[in-house]
Amino acid sequence: MKVKVISILEDNYMYLVIEEQSKQAIAVDPAVPHRLLEIVKREGLFLIAVLTTHHHWDHARGNEALVNEVPGLKVYGADDRIKGLTDKVTDSQELKFNSINVKCLFTPCHTSGDMCYYVWEDECTDAPAVFTGDTLFIGGCGRFLEGTAEQMHHNLTKVIASLPQETKVFCGHENTIKNLKFALLVEPENEKVKEMLSWARARDDDDKPTVPSTLQEEFDYNPFLRLSEKAVQKFTGKMEPVEVMRVLRKEMDKFKKPKERLPPQAMLALQWGLLMSSQDRLSPAIKDGD
């Protein structure tokens, strides 16, 4: 099983899960259908199904076009608001596509119909994968748009956390740097956060994705999975896990990513450039006044 990561829109990801022997592929949240089909054609794949995590346009808007372009294509999801839906799935339902298995994990909160997908391949030693959409991010979690802190607490600590620790996490957006900056605010002494933030910045400099992480890694630096840690409780002023979750999300909603400070030489060059530009604009007026 191979997972192809495809960057789209401003910061979204869509994915292709490929059974390498048969060349059959399953798309996850293919919001840019023409690009997906170009990749499918270029790599000689056969698109057989779409897994949709939730109904938002930046995850589901490509479904209808794909159904029209690919005869017999199945589109799976848990929400009737999902465009192009052909098969509605329920919690713990299992799907099988040759040697690839999918378990549907109902995780309502970001939207009331959110579904994560746990994927593994028969007789394969590679780590399984979970496609979390906007429920779990690297270093963070999704906003509680249609749900509650209680629901997200259950989603993260009971549903997703029950998966094998080596499970690879493929999320819906590239929010890693912002998430880790918030994590550092929550736990300023957490060395894992510092290491991961440095790594994520380097990936960003090289224009490379930060997905996937693993569940084991998320427990080391993601504050939304560290609700019982003293530093996280101190930051929120709460001890009960759901209340810690609630305050964390409220603070994250208010959090603005700190601007990267430019090196002194760059700041000097910028200031000099602005000064020269200002003088250029002023000089005609000075001459006219002379």
59 is catalytic: yes
CA distances from residue 272 to 66, 279, 281 in whole angstroms, order as listed:
52, 10, 14
Write down the catalytic residue from 58, 114, 153, 154.
Answer: 58
Let me know if 58 is a catalytic residue: yes
55 is catalytic: no
User: What is the distance between the alpha carbons of residues 223 and 152, in angstroms, rounded to a whole number?
Assistant: 13
Structural tokens at position 82: 């999902």
Q: Active-site residue among 29, 55, 59, 153?
A: 59
Q: From the candidates 29, 55, 56, 79, which is the catalytic residue?
A: 56
* Catalytic residue flag (residue 134): yes
3-state helix, strand and coil shares in percent for the chain, rounded to the nearest 5: 40, 25, 35
- Residue from 55, 79, 110, 153 carrying the catalytic annotation: 110
* Residues in contact with 256: Cβ distance below 8 Å, sequence separation at least 6, in sequence order: none
Catalytic site residue from 29, 79, 134, 153:
134
Active site residue 154: no
Please state the length of the chain. 290
Reference 60, options 37, 41, 39, 76; nearest CA is: 76
Active site residues: 54, 56, 58-59, 110, 134, 173
